[in-house]
Homo-oligomer: A and B are copies of this chain.
Amino acid sequence: MNVSITGGAGFLGVRLARRLLSKGTLRGPRGGQEQIARLTLVDVAPPRGLDDPRVRVVDGSIADPGVIAAAIDADTDAIFHLAAIVSGQAEADFEAGMQINFDATRLLLERARRSGNRPRVVFTSSVAVFGPPLPPVVRDDTAPVPQSSYGAQKLMCELLVQDYSRRGFIDGRALRMPTISVRPGKPNKAASSFASGIIREPLAGEEAVCPVPAETVMWLMSPGKAIDNLVLGHELDAEQLGPSRIVNMPGLSATVRDMVAALERVAGPAVSRRIRWEPDPAVMRIVSSWPGRFDTPRAQALGFEADASFEEVVRAHVADTG
């Protein structure tokens, strides 16, 4: 069983790699659990803290066909495709977004197809595929209308995953992930970066800027749940997915005010006072186009899970970093 992770040095990629190395097996081409013999991590930066003989590192951009060729071969059974340019960056640089978020995904899927091995491909899509006009609660059959280039690119990739799977080129699954919070590390150019920053920085004794109003509703998932759901996304049988390979993930609906209140309950008012409220129209425009409430019966029937409460999410982050 040979597995590849793109974006393998990112925070989700490393966390997923750790999980797979400790789990040791994944559902293999013969239907049963098989030992993971090789775990290939592809990224522009080397992954840290993964000293394991099964790990192989491919250094470079997924936009480079040579990197894709090194990352996926005829023995690759599973691909977790996490690498992407984040929403704010894809909005600021249209070409870069098309190249990394769309063209590189097409390159990857084409390589997987040409391998002849029909690998399982778990693609991380996003709630950013949705935008106004939106119903109050997004249903499983609500039409996505992206209002960001990131969302448009993710949705186009979903369609490739869907069509490549339907044709039997790959066995793909596109999971529409909520905003991940609390992401460890530094702020990035994702429009949603603040959703982690307003928790992470105050807990680390630093000031954080919140660029959206307190009443902004977010659809959230913790890194731990995201990893659970990515692994489940791989393990499901194609038959369970039926005619659509695209699944809206469950999540937690919370206003930014709710998030800060949870932080305050966990760490006290001195910590939550470290947030400075400075509206940023560019961030607000993107974030306010994303839905904050979903009804996800299909995902839940398939076994995907949401976090129990945002307070629990904050506590898990404190435990992880403490």
Contact = CB atoms under 8 A, between A and B. Distances in A.
Contacts of A147: 166, 243
Interface in A21-65: none
Contacts of A155: 159
Interface residues of A, number: 27
B133 A141 contact: yes
A300 interface: no
Contacts of A145: 162, 243-244, 246
A197 interface: no
Interface string A224-248: 0000000000000000001110100
A142 interface: yes
A187 interface: no
B144 A143 contact: yes
B159 A146 contact: yes
A252 to B, nearest CB: 23
A243 B131 contact: yes
B163 A152 contact: yes
Main secondary structure of the interface of A (DSSP, over half): loop
Copies in the complex: 2
A243 B134 CA distance: 10
Contact of A162 (B94, B140, B146, B159): B146
Nearest to A98: B106
Contacts of A156: 156, 159-160
Nearest to A242: B133
Contact of A132 (B160, B243, B246): B243
Interface of A: 94, 131-133, 135, 140-147, 149, 152, 155-156, 159-160, 162-163, 166-167, 242-244, 246
Given A145-B243, A152-B162, 19 more contacts: A94-B167, A133-B242, A133-B243, A133-B244, A141-B142, A141-B143, A142-B143, A143-B143, A145-B244, A146-B162, A146-B163, A147-B166, A149-B163, A149-B167, A152-B159, A152-B160, A152-B163, A155-B159, A156-B160
A-B pairs with lowest CB-CB distance, top 6? A152-B163, A143-B143, A145-B244, A152-B159, A156-B156, A132-B243
